Structure 1
Amino acid sequence: MRKIFSLLFAAGICPGAFAQIAGDVININEVSRIEKTLSADDMEGRAVFSAGIGKAAAFIADEFRKAGLQTPPKGDGYLQTFTVLKPKYLGGSATVNGKAFDEKNVVVITGEPDFSINEKSGYEIVRIGKGTQLFADAFGIVSSGKNKLVLVDTSFSKNFQRLTYFKRELLEAKSNTVFLLADEVPSTFEIRAKHEITKSTLSNVVGILPGKSKKDEFVIFSGHYDHLGIGKPLNGDSIYNGANDDAAGTTAVVMLAKYFKALNNNERTIIFAAFTAEETGGFGSRYFSMQFEPAKVKAMFNIEMIGTESKWGTNSAYITGYEKSDMGKILEKNLQGSVFKFFPDPYPDQQLFYRSDNATLARLGVPAHTISTSKMDSEKFYHTADDEFETLDMKNMTEIIKAIALSSTSIVAGTDTPSRVDTNALR
């Protein structure tokens, strides 16, 4: 206990103040109110482009307003709204080395209605080689913001057309990606594609708590508030409420905003973000990442599915990508002497580090990790209509939110700075 007292004093927090404020602000009644509202049937599963997700965004924004957070620059109040493009492919053609190239072996990711390039267009040529992770590599390339011609090894021929997944929705951008199922670098090529482009808007919900002495150093607490919407009925229920995934993480973000505002001693600026479209391509976090200089973001606590007990029981959680920075060690140090325990991700084969919004910031070098309690090898309600409020352990979820608050103490205070993620080591 002596260690935790020393830590809190060093951060300018009296241990009694932490316990009192954490207990007063992060209480089970308030946590339950927010969680129950976000996962209610009238939110319609919070699918992107639905009335339900708009209702959820308005609720989160109002909670940020009541907490006393500032609005982000260039935002519509607390809403960080951006344009998403939906391209409908109308047709195209391709020639490679002077010969017609099968249209089925070309996938063009663009927001341009009339797209045309050749070998003189200045596109960077990159490869996705045999034995690599096709979709993980493709995601990184499409998200790079650069014009690229991608040669996909022919060993991926069975899965090649699945790359059209990246065409379902696009961020409005000036970059394009062309995938060719080919092993050799072409000496000449000409690729044309026509699309009908429909524009829609999505919104993150963002609130800011300025730092006292290090205003230009940012700490992010995030979770995604979108889910799957309404699907096929199962036992008479067709609403995928997403109580754990990820109304739980969004609830934590709101509660942490209230907690840090009440504490009112953060040296670094804290950004609280509820992301949209995590379930459909990570567009919310991708747009968000473009609004800040990555070097100024000192840490990101992404919170995902904390509504059930972890494999270690109550008061415990895990950190994805634990080995990719020393942030996990800092969080563990901050929890010493408390009842809380954080562990490295016990499900490395599931690649959870790359499956949530933290990955977008991590690819920019930010020490960005997800904190979760979900038993991903046996989470029976994951992505089902049964992921409802009644299945959650609200007492433990409340304690996990307190644990996240405590674990972040020295980072928010500016006395600890996690090491950066080596982007060259990411897949």
Structure 2
Amino acid sequence: MHRIYFLLFLGLLLGACKTTKKTAIDVANFSSSLQMEAHMKYLASDELKGRDTGSDGIELAAGFIMDFLKAQDIEPYFESYQDTLDNYTPVAYNIVGVIPGNDPELRKEFVLIGAHYDHIGMGKVKLGDSIANGANDNASGTSTVLELARYFAKAKTNKRSLLFAWFTAEEKGLKGSDHLAKKMKAEGVDLYTVLNYEMTGVPMVGKDHLVYVSGYNKSNIAEISNSYAGEKVVGFLPTAEEFNLFMRSDNYPFYKAFQIPAHTFATFDFTNFDHYHQVGDEADLMDFAHMARVVNKMIPAIEGIVNAANKEIILK
């Protein structure tokens, strides 16, 4: 069934290409609510049964992501897109693609953009529903990274190399990101920074910024991001610090392994969504226009970061 959803999205994508073939990319409107809905309606569908690590459902999600990468001509980072975990059984794997940088020197440095694509599987039955679809957590972040990958595959503007990673087993204790961080560290990868996306499906209310970043005070990433965005896109959420979210998402293993700026961007602020790890976390509750806005506002920030002459994001 994921092939049907993917073909529908591909048709939407090709239709957009026909109208913009000879024009520059309109970054402000690159992603759209329709494109986000196409991703989300499949990734958070009942067919995937909550995408539990090692399940048939997450296998379908992985196939969807890998088909998408192939359609964008994004290369596997390893021999294949699949990065099998050495710290978890049964078999589970991350999905990792790469867009090599176009600068002969800066291409040796990597920026990783990631999100976890697993969820908890089946949840406590409510109104006859037992599938914890994980729309906000984290089909939303997964879709955000899909759209960012689509942009850079099309634009080909990145001087540094870009890794796009979808982590498995986040819900089992950050197993997927821990595996990949240690593997890349052992291979001597020059990793500059990690930009992770988590729960971006619904907007915050009454804030003067679009997303918040975990570990806000650990680096100058918000300042750098906003300088390239040309507005205050990234801000501080006191609750994120109170609950130490910096250590609770897939950015953290990379921070531990590499001692580099590694952060998670999110819009779930503990007041705007009531279905965390419950069967009510459905795609129909997501704000697809908001999700597209997150992508479009983050593109200039990421583009600035990957193309800067020096590593401007530094730990404090």
Please say whether Structure 1 and Structure 2 have the same fold, judged by a TM-score greater than 0.5: yes
**Closer/same/farther in 2, CA of residues 60 and 232 from structure 1, 3 Å limit:** same
Structure 2 gap segments, 5+ residues each: 1-22
Checking the alignment, whether the CA contact within 8 Å between 1:310 and 1:316 is kept in structure 2 is yes
Equivalent residue for 2:131, pick from 220, 236, 239: 239
Equivalent residue for 1:61, pick from 66, 70, 77: 66
Equivalent in the alignment of 2:5 = none
Question: CA separation in 2, counterparts of 1:271 and 1:385?
Answer: 32
Checking the alignment, whether the CA contact within 8 Å between 1:330 and 1:416 is kept in structure 2 is no
Structure 1 length-normalised TM: 0.64
Question: CA separation in 1, counterparts of 2:208 and 2:201?
Answer: 11
Equivalent in the alignment of 2:29 = 23
Equivalent in the alignment of 1:208 = 98
**Closer/same/farther in 2, CA of residues 29 and 52 from structure 1, 3 Å limit:** same
Equivalent residue for 1:360, pick from 253, 262, 273: 253
* 1:31 CA drift (Å): 1.4
Checking the alignment, whether the CA contact within 8 Å between 2:203 and 2:272 is kept in structure 1 is no
Equivalent in the alignment of 1:228 = 120
**Closer/same/farther in 2, CA of residues 289 and 322 from structure 1, 3 Å limit:** same
Equivalent in the alignment of 2:242 = 349
Question: How does 1:210-289 map onto structure 2 within 5 Å?
Answer: 210-213=100-103, 214-289=106-181
Checking the alignment, whether the CA contact within 8 Å between 1:318 and 1:346 is kept in structure 2 is no
Structure with greater Cα Rg: 1
Equivalent in the alignment of 2:84 = 81
Equivalent residue for 1:292, pick from 184, 193, 202: 184
Equivalent residue for 2:77, pick from 47, 72, 76: 72
**Closer/same/farther in 2, CA of residues 343 and 314 from structure 1, 3 Å limit:** closer
Q: C-alpha root-mean-square deviation of aligned residues, in Å? A: 1.9
* 1:377 CA drift (Å): 4.3
The reply to whether residue 321 of structure 1 matches residue 211 of structure 2 is no
Question: CA separation in 1, counterparts of 2:137 and 2:73?
Answer: 26
Structure 2 counterpart SS, 1:252: helix
Question: CA separation in 1, counterparts of 2:254 and 2:201?
Answer: 24
Question: CA separation in 1, counterparts of 2:65 and 2:208?
Answer: 27
- Over residues 98-124 of structure 1, what are the superposed CA-to-partner deviations in whole Å (9 max), with x where a residue is unaligned? xxxxxxxxxxxxxxxxxxxxxxxxxxx
Question: CA separation in 1, counterparts of 2:117 and 2:303?
Answer: 25
Equivalent in the alignment of 1:36 = 41
Equivalent residue for 1:335, pick from 219, 222, 229: 229
Equivalent residue for 2:294, pick from 389, 393, 400: 400
What amino acid is aligned across from residue 382 of structure 1 in structure 2?
Y
Question: CA separation in 2, counterparts of 1:205 and 1:51?
Answer: 16
The reply to whether residue 45 of structure 1 matches residue 50 of structure 2 is yes
- Over residues 152-187 of structure 1, what are the superposed CA-to-partner deviations in whole Å (9 max), with x where a residue is unaligned? xxxxxxxxxxxxxxxxxxx17xxxxxxxxxxxxxxx
* 1:344 CA drift (Å): 1.6
Equivalent in the alignment of 1:383 = 277
Checking the alignment, whether the CA contact within 8 Å between 1:72 and 1:80 is kept in structure 2 is no
Structure 2 length-normalised TM: 0.86
Moved more, 263-272 or 199-208: 199-208
Structure 2 counterpart SS, 1:204: strand
* 1:22 CA drift (Å): 5.2
**Closer/same/farther in 2, CA of residues 207 and 60 from structure 1, 3 Å limit:** same
Checking the alignment, whether the CA contact within 8 Å between 2:48 and 2:60 is kept in structure 1 is yes
What amino acid is aligned across from residue 80 of structure 1 in structure 2?
D
Question: CA separation in 2, counterparts of 1:387 and 1:314?
Answer: 26
What amino acid is aligned across from residue 43 of structure 1 in structure 2?
L
- Over residues 373-427 of structure 1, what are the superposed CA-to-partner deviations in whole Å (9 max), with x where a residue is unaligned? 11224531111111101111111111011112122121111335244447xxxxx
Checking the alignment, whether the CA contact within 8 Å between 1:332 and 1:341 is kept in structure 2 is yes
* 1:315 CA drift (Å): 6.6
- The count of corresponding residues between Structure 1 and Structure 2 is 288
| Structure having the larger proportion of residues in helix | 2
What amino acid is aligned across from residue 360 of structure 1 in structure 2?
P
**Closer/same/farther in 2, CA of residues 333 and 352 from structure 1, 3 Å limit:** same
Moved more, 294-303 or 64-73: 294-303
What amino acid is aligned across from residue 206 of structure 1 in structure 2?
V
Structure 2 counterpart SS, 1:215: helix
Checking the alignment, whether the CA contact within 8 Å between 1:315 and 1:396 is kept in structure 2 is no
Percent of residue pairs identical:
32
